[in-house]
Amino acid sequence: MIGLRNTWISLLALAALPAASLSLAAETGAEQQVERIRQIVLLRQDDPAAVAHLVQLTSKLSEADGAVLFNQIADDFLAATQYDRAGELLRQLVDQYPNEPATADGLLQLVRLYASSEVATSQIRTTGHAPSTTDLATFALHSARKARAKNRTLAADPRLTFQCAVAARRSGRPAQSQGFLTPLKHNPRAEPWHGRARAEAWLLSGRQDDAPLRTRQCAKADVRPVLDGILDEPFWKSAMGDRAGPPTRYGFARDKEFFYLAVRCKKFPGTEYAVDNRKRNYDANLSAHDHIELQLDLDRDYATCFFLAVDHRGWTADRCWMAKDWNPRWFVAARQDQTHWTVEAAIPWTELGGTAPPAKEAWAIACQRVAPYSQPTQTSFDLLLFEDLTEH
């Protein structure tokens, strides 16, 4: 579980380091040196003194190389769900290299880590413990404000400004959150953060005017759908429209237990759509198959998302932000005919944070279809709006 432990760990363990490790600067070029240090630290990632090792090993590096290396290893720890280690490393980065360009990225990752509802949820699932999200977001906000006060470049970074607004909102400080968002709302050159800041204001205003971002609706499921890929329930017919619509259509619905997803895709000409009835595995490689990818951003930070992917066979892949070992329990049915393939899925709310979102809640969501053997592109986020479950 993420903690706020003291960064300064006892350096006694450094005595055990081989002399060769401490003289890397004299033996190799900068790139080789950085990579060798990275591998040494990753091999010791379960060692409580891992950060102290890194501080010592980088003492002969330039500050620019040291800051980049800290960022790289922090990302390695985030991908391995070593969130304590990643937080330690990012805090040390901000303290040790306050004026390096790479520190901006590290500080951004630090605030994202501690303010993320998705990371907190994944920690509850894997450890059974609930970190104090308010305390963590407060710490993230404090760290960011202190760093911004020392460095004008950080203070001018719209990514970090928006993330500070998220941390303030997550720590129960709505007025501070709006204070961070105000300059972004009035700066059209700060896209995409300008539009996202305007979307936050729109959500607070009661949604009276046109939304600054595209919106999608998560409808109430009047009956629990039969997961067969046919999409014949009334709420799906309303959400999906007829086959004359766009080649890729998405539908979202919910009840008190599940978040439901439906997708209808027109087949690509000349593409193989073989049926595969083998037992599905976690995190299948979908790159050779026509598939869709969703990013579910519960706290609207446009960074730390639940990622869900499913292909025409019904095979799936998922992760939480950078961590591939987040494997939620979800149910998927796939079906195809001569012209289209469809997917129908149900994800328990317990896998996405606990309970169904309240009425008028909003997530950020990105939807993308990826053709076989092609690379995903950077896609824009929409707002997913939740209807009141009591409405009839």
C-alpha Rg value of the chain to the nearest Å: 23
Which pair of structure tokens corresponds to residue 130?
């609930």
CA separation for the pair 31, 34 (Å, rounded): 5
CA separation for the pair 198, 204 (Å, rounded): 10
The structural domains of the chain, ordered by start, are 11-158 (1.25.40), 215-386 (2.60.40.1190)
What per-residue string of b and e applies to 165-204 under the rule 16 or more CB within 10 Å gives b?
Answer: bbbbbbbebeebbbebbeebbeeeebeebbbbbbbbebbe
- Annotate the chain with three-state secondary structure: CCCCCCCCCCHHHHHHCCHHHHCHHHHCCHHHHHHHHHHHHHHCCCCCCHHHHHHHHCCCCCHHHHHHHHHHHHHHHHHCCCHHHHHHHHHHHHHHCCCCHHHHHHHHHHHHHHHCHHHHHHHHHHHCCCCCHHHHHHHHHHHHHHHHHHCHHHHCCHHHHHHHHHHHHHCCCHHHHHHHHHHHHCCHHHCCHHHHHHHHHHHHCCCCCCCCCCEEEEEECCCCCCCCCCCCCHHHHHHHCCCCCCCEEEEEEECCCEEEEEEEEECCCCCCCCCCCCCCCCCCCCCCCCEEEEEEECCCCCCCCEEEEEECCCCEEEEECCECCCCCCCEEEEEECCCEEEEEEEEEHHHCCCCCCCCCCEEEEEEEEECCCCCCCCCCCEEEEECCCCCC
Measured at the CA of 261, the angle between CA 255 and CA 262, to 5 degrees, comes to 125
CA separation for the pair 384, 392 (Å, rounded): 20
156: pLDDT strictly greater than 70:
yes
Average pLDDT over residues 154-171: 95
Strand partners, 265: 248, 341
Q: How confident is the model at residue 177 (pLDDT cuts 50, 70, 90)?
A: very high
Output the pLDDT for position 203.
95
The pTM for the full model equals 0.88
Average pLDDT over residues 275-298: 91
pLDDT tens, residue by residue, 316-338: 999 999 998 899 999 999 999 99
Output the pLDDT for position 23.
46
Mean pLDDT of the chain: 87
353 versus 386: which is more confidently predicted?
Answer: 386
Output the pLDDT for position 308.
97
Contact indicator for 71, 34 with CB cutoff of 8 Å: no
Strand partners, 383: 215, 364
Contact indicator for 84, 3 with CB cutoff of 8 Å: yes
Average pLDDT over residues 115-124: 87
> What is the percentage of the chain residues whose pLDDT exceeds 90?
64
Average pLDDT over residues 371-392: 83
22: pLDDT strictly greater than 80:
no
301: pLDDT strictly greater than 90:
yes
Pairing outcome for strands 215-220 and 382-386: parallel
CA separation for the pair 239, 253 (Å, rounded): 9
Contact indicator for 319, 344 with CB cutoff of 8 Å: no
CA separation for the pair 146, 148 (Å, rounded): 6
Which pair of structure tokens corresponds to residue 139?
């710490």
